Structure 1
Amino acid sequence: MSVAVSSKLNKTVRDQYLKLPQDGKAQVTYVWIDGTGESLRCKTRTLKCEPKTIQDIPEWNFDGSSTYQSEGSNSDMFLIPARMFRDPFTLDPNKLVLCEVLKYNRKPAETNLRYTCRETMDKAKLSHPWFGLEQEYSLLGINGHPYGWPENGFPGPQGPYYCGVGADKVFGRDIVEAHYKACLYAGVKISGTNAEVMPSQWEFQVGPCEGIEMGDHLWLARYILHRICEDFGVVATLDPKPITGNWNGAGCHANFSTEVMRKEGGLN
């Protein structure tokens, strides 16, 4: 199984540095969606003290030409803090902050779909829309081969893997449990997890979230998943069909209701 080189670094050595005091300062990691509309990017800065609200976190600029979000001739773009979470990787008082992206002219970037989503959710706020999201994903080695599968050949047919228990039925539970705990620490509204139909495929659920919260908490949960997979030396993919043939696909199922639907006599 091909494993990422970074996962082989000595984590005990790293931990001795993570325990050092920060002299009251806070590390804030800005997270945003790049120009592909699918991949996440991040960079970190120091603030003089722990931010208590999102308003305490300043805007920051970055080079959009390196993230598929602008041309090289005019590449300055802006990260606008949108939602703050605790950082499960460097711990308190450090933060993760999900950001919107503006172009040099302060207009939303083409892939800043949070901007238009927020406008829609503001119009619907009196309906109190709730979302429950079920995110499926697959674990792969760096070589793109499903984690835990035989190097040559395939595992047994699908059937025993969904919600399975046992070393011959589930692959990568350590990653799943680490992700769950990290999301809880961060303040992500993760509500469950289970092994899925294809071996090395899993699902986590986020919600219920109201309005724009749905995307913020889902994207941060994805970010945390990718970061945890770095430590374990594997790749989490959201590809809807990572393996061709008679193997289960992956998606993100959405459950939705409004306040009227949830009341007695509404739709359940």
Structure 2
Amino acid sequence: MIQCQTPDDVMRVISEKGITFIDLKFSDPFGQWQHLTIPTHEFGLHSFEEGIPFDGSSIRGWKGIQESDMLLIPDPKSAFIDPFINEPTLSLICDVVDPITKEPYSRDTRQIAKKALEFLRSTGIGDIAYFGPEAEFFIFDDIRFSTGPNHAFYQIDSEEAWWNTSREENPNLGYKIPFKRGYFPVSPLDKTHDIRMEMVKTLEEVGITVEREHHEVATAGQGEINFRFSDIIGSGDNILKYKYVLRNVGYRFGKFVTFMPKPIAGDNGSGMHVHFSIWRNGENLFAGNSYAGLSEIALYAIGGIIKHARAICAFSNPTTNSYHRLVPGYEAPVRLAYSARNRSAAIRIPLGSQSPKAKRIEVRFPDPSSNPYLTFTALLMAAIDGIENRIHPGEPLDKDIYSLPPEELANVPQTPGSLQEAIDALKEDKEFLLKGGVMDEDFINMWIETKQAEVDAIRLVPHPKEFELYFDV
């Protein structure tokens, strides 16, 4: 692991480690890393000031060919030696700026997250926001899918999956994990432990401090690796680095890692619970003497998140598949309530430590298909709105929400039931995101148009289940 703070640190590492290539990574609007590689003789201290020019017109969700010229500005603090490239290569995460104005590119989501932090500071509420995401994933042995005018199918396989209890494996060694029984079993039930251990080692090598790893609830190789919280940019960077590492380690083992929220019918999906707090002058503003050790500010933040949750979902749960996970009964909380310890509430207050420094809220509805910069930005902006307008969330709901009778549930708001509902909510509730110029109308309109196209694409294709239900009508 290397640690760089300044451009001079980066240049020293290049010299000391014999680096021959620089890999410049940046995120598209939807949370996919893109990259551009240059030899070290083309890179120097000037690169941090002048940037590296590239054509951005072919990046999905960015502006057209008439506005294609962009600059990549490397962040020296993001430097890591890439463990998956054969040549000695230093990776740097970059911001994107306009080459003429040198202003942040309005569709660069890392820059959007930076603007959210600047807006927080401008309000005087706090000077830093910490995020601790927990992104779940699946490790599959095989994945196939195809669609066409006359067919549509997908097929997933895993050696530990419950559906393979009768498969001939020469011989079948048993030890398959039943649906919803995957939480913490030891080997030989847990067949992906060695892979997760290699993932942990590699994450540590690239500068991510890991706190724990374990098998998750679902069958078929569901797992989770938790790493230490950071600020809005650090945690956004770390989620994209985390995905990069896990996919590549899985690939080296001949496996396939996916962060798709709901790849398996009838079993738990993958979420990305987000632990969140706001600080000022080294003091945790969420610690106090109110419910579950929270401050009044924290309650107002919860109120803002609950108020804007349906619009937030357009960013935090941005796929049609997200809403196969957001259904009752699979640990994904769909009811917009808050509670201490209660994992059926959309916002939980963890009680593992009584230290004021550890006090935080855990937002449980986001999933790992999201762009982390946008998810964190939307949560922070909603919290700021709640604090500024003193939006109280009402009383906590300390009951198992999944077992509440219909008459009690009727008064508890819920997350959208589909991506279409989330898009419609964003159309009606976007002003909190526009404050301080954090997002602009252009970006939100692009997002809505892109996501509407995804909804329409699914709507136009018959689903295989429909043939089972309706072919003989």
Task: Give the drift of 1:209.
Answer: 0.8
1:121 aligns to 2:117 (yes or no) = yes
2:161–2:177 contact (8 Å) kept in structure 1: no
2:311 maps to none
Q: After TM superposition, where is structure 1 displaced by more than 6 Å over at least 4 residues in a row?
A: none
Among 255, 259, 279, which residue is 1:234 paired with?
255
* Structure-2 change in CA distance of 1:234 and 1:63 (3 Å): farther
Normalized per residue, the structure richer in strand is 1
Task: Give the drift of 1:212.
Answer: 2.1
CA distance in 1, matches of 2:119, 2:106: 21
Higher mean alpha-carbon deviation, 65-74 vs 173-182, is at 65-74
SS at match of 2:200: helix
Task: Give the drift of 1:63.
Answer: 3.8
1:29 aligns to 2:32 (yes or no) = no
Among 198, 203, 222, which residue is 1:201 paired with?
222
Question: Any residues of structure 2 matched to 1:94-173 within 5 Å, and which?
Answer: 94-102=89-97, 108=104, 111-124=107-120, 126-140=126-140, 141-143=142-144, 145-149=156-160, 153=164, 156-167=177-188, 169-173=189-193
Matching residue's letter, 1:260: N
* Structure-2 change in CA distance of 1:64 and 1:23 (3 Å): same
Question: Any residues of structure 2 matched to 1:14-53 within 5 Å, and which?
Answer: 24-35=18-29, 37-48=30-41
Among 189, 195, 205, which residue is 1:185 paired with?
205
CA distance in 1, matches of 2:54, 2:71: 6
CA distance in 2, matches of 1:57, 1:137: 38
SS at match of 1:177: helix
CA distance in 2, matches of 1:197, 1:130: 27
Deviations 1:107-126 (A, max 9, x none): 65564221121111134354
Question: Any residues of structure 2 matched to 1:215-254 within 5 Å, and which?
Answer: 215-244=236-265, 246-254=266-274
Q: Percent identity?
A: 23
Task: Give the drift of 1:55.
Answer: 7.2
1:31–1:42 contact (8 Å) kept in structure 2: yes
RMSD: 3.6
Among 69, 72, 79, which residue is 2:72 paired with?
79
1:85–1:188 contact (8 Å) kept in structure 2: no
Task: Give the drift of 1:147.
Answer: 3.2
* Structure-2 change in CA distance of 1:145 and 1:104 (3 Å): farther
Normalised to the residue count of structure 1, the TM-score between the two structures is 0.74
Larger Rg: 2
Larger RCO of the pair (alpha carbons < 8 Å, separation 6+): 1
Normalised to the residue count of structure 2, the TM-score between the two structures is 0.44
2:162–2:179 contact (8 Å) kept in structure 1: no
Normalized per residue, the structure richer in helix is 2
Task: Give the drift of 1:102.
Answer: 4.0
* Structure-2 change in CA distance of 1:235 and 1:114 (3 Å): same
Structure 2: runs of 5+ lacking an equivalent: 1-14, 145-154, 166-175, 295-358, 360-473
* Structure-2 change in CA distance of 1:138 and 1:102 (3 Å): farther
